[in-house]
Amino acid sequence: MALTVTDFVVVNAAKELIDRSPSPTLRISSSFYDSPLPSSSKPFQSRYCTASDSANSSKSSWNSTPIIRARSIPFTTIPRTFATSATKMSVAVPTDFNKVLYQSLTEADPEVQQIIENETYRQFSGLELIASENLTSLATMEANGSILTNKYSEGLPGARYYGGNEYIDQLEILCQQRALKTFNLDPKVWGVNVQPYSGSTANFATFTALLQPQDRIMGLGLPSGGHLTHGYYTAKKKISASSIYFQSFPYNVDPATGYINYDELKKNADLFKPRMVICGGSAYPRDWDYAKLAEVAKTQSAYLMSDIAHISGLVAAQVQNNPFEYCDIVTTTTHKTLRGPRAGLIFFRKDRDPEIEGRVNAAVFPACQGGPHNNTIAGIAVALKQAAEPAFKEYATQVIKNSQAIAKVLSAKGYKLQTDGSENHLILWDLRPLSLTGSKVENICDLAHITLNKNAVSGDTSALVPGGVRIGTGALTSRSMNEKDMEKVAEFLDRVVQISLEIQKTSGKKLVDFMKAARESDAVKQLNQDVEAFATSFPLPGVPDTSVIKRPASH
């Protein structure tokens, strides 16, 4: 008797579906694993085939990674959790020691639920301007908070150290496919590892894969807009593990212009002779000249690595220069302009180094981390699908327009911006001409429902007392704000600085005295109210009905 499976596995079915004799066999073809899921699929849903489908396909996987081939499953051995559209049953919730497993968060832990509700209100009522943050979609949140969190799956698809990973393999392969598609990459040329827990993990796994201890690396210096993981150290201390295990020499921006000094970079590379050149940063408001960096790397026979954590969404939308044309390896986080959950990706170019795939995969696991977070990989897959859609390019374009709109207003008011503007999602505001520190402005912003971060600017002598603040437009653009709204945001920021200057006149320069006066300031309280009224007029991704958002009792 031939069977066609038309429904998915439904958890919590109670009884045998139906008595069948003899026991038929359900077959899943190898194409089940090799083919992309249909666009109509929901996360975790799969493509089904009949019992008569051939299980003997010799088709290889798209990235030559060994995958699970077709296997026969006697119908009578399928657990009682299997149901068809014709038969759906439920099992009673237990009343024993496991009853807590079925309680909602509100019932099981009201303290944590209250904190989440308070944070929801904070995000709804404020202006999120931290350049490394964004607001992810409801679908991504659902995937990230799914039952996939239960599964352990050390290894790669088709080569796991644990059983029961049939659907996890499908998910990870799907995520890999979507990652390559989103960045318009040929799977014959590029591969990707989607397991890193974060961008920092992705970066150190890359170093582990391609470098030997004490090899030399060159990355953009932190005060010039670089990132900690690119080899940062001070005169007194090695800060990042990348500076502890490797020899690091930074390149910098021109203090006069704020732009990367590529000529100086080339000269220093000739002297330092790095094994790896790193491009990418966390506070550089301009695009990158990958061709010049590739020339430097080629001259030194060095790897060229690009960390596009901040701009990956803009790169995917093709509104920034493309690092994949020049680089050997590209890393990124997934939660910034890409708008996914918090994780990392490593892309590696296979045609230049046939061993790079195995080395990168082994560096991620088992060298640097354990089993992947499958729920997060599901969230990444959803976010990548959304990033490949035309609407995402509109979003990315608007992110840049919004950044430039804020920069235009601040510049018109006479404020100093690093590089005098922006070509991406962020602005670096130099407060030193005002004799203000980034810490004071950040703290006033916190009191006024505006979230940004203090940040070093070129020429700073102390990382503990940075002279600027960093502003990003990814999150506000996700709340459907446009250039006109950014003009209002820039006015709020101007008020913050003017209030800060007034408070500093009477309180002095010590932060503790400054903050005591700020908390008592009527101007700060009024700004708080104005920002809240403005922010709550916009939607909040992940919360379709904002009427359910509750103001904290202590607010």
Check residue 426 and give its pLDDT.
Answer: 98
Q: If DSSP codes are grouped into helix, strand and coil, which group holds residue 137?
A: coil
Name the nearest CA neighbour of 217 among 247, 238, 240: 247
The catalytic position among 178, 275, 339, 342 is 342
Angle, helix 438-447 to helix 511-519, in steps of 10 degrees: 20
Q: Residue 103 domain-assigned?
A: no
Rounded Cα distance, 120 and 536, in Å: 12
Host domain of residue 421? 390-548
Q: Residue 102 domain-assigned?
A: no
* CA distance readout (Å), 487 to 260, 404, 412, 445, 526: 29, 10, 11, 17, 19
Tokens for 107, please give them: 């019932």
Check residue 32 and give its pLDDT.
Answer: 32
Token pair 């090899």 in the structure block, residue: 215
Rounded Cα distance, 252 and 259, in Å: 8
Check residue 386 and give its pLDDT.
Answer: 99
Q: Is the C-alpha dihedral spanning 178, 189, 199, 441 positive or negative?
A: negative
Rounded Cα distance, 450 and 493, in Å: 9
Token pair 């990548």 in the structure block, residue: 384
Whether 333 is catalytic: yes
| Tens digits of residue pLDDT in 232-270 | 878 888 988 898 999 999 999 999 999 999 999 999 999
Low-confidence ranges of the chain (pLDDT < 50): 1-83
The catalytic position among 178, 216, 336, 454 is 336
Q: Residue 531 domain-assigned?
A: yes
Check residue 85 and give its pLDDT.
Answer: 58
Rounded Cα distance, 392 and 378, in Å: 19
The catalytic position among 48, 69, 152, 181 is 152
Q: Residue 530 domain-assigned?
A: yes
Rounded to two decimals, the pTM is 0.83
Q: Residue 5 domain-assigned?
A: no
Total structural domains in the chain? 1
Whether 154 is catalytic: yes
The catalytic position among 128, 169, 307, 430 is 307
Q: Residue 498 domain-assigned?
A: yes
Check residue 231 and give its pLDDT.
Answer: 85
Token pair 């990168």 in the structure block, residue: 360
| CATH code (residue 477) | 3.90.1150.10
| Tens digits of residue pLDDT in 191-217 | 999 999 999 999 999 999 999 999 999
Q: Residue 170 domain-assigned?
A: no
The catalytic position among 136, 331, 333, 437 is 333
Q: Residue 480 domain-assigned?
A: yes
Check residue 525 and give its pLDDT.
Answer: 98
Rounded Cα distance, 462 and 222, in Å: 11
Whether 96 is catalytic: no
- Counting Cα atoms < 13 Å in the Cβ hemisphere of 65 gives 25
The catalytic position among 142, 154, 483, 513 is 154
Whether 336 is catalytic: yes
413 contacts 497 by C-beta, under 8 angstroms = no
CB atoms within 10 A of CB 213: 10
Whether 525 is catalytic: no
User: What is the length of the chain?
Assistant: 555
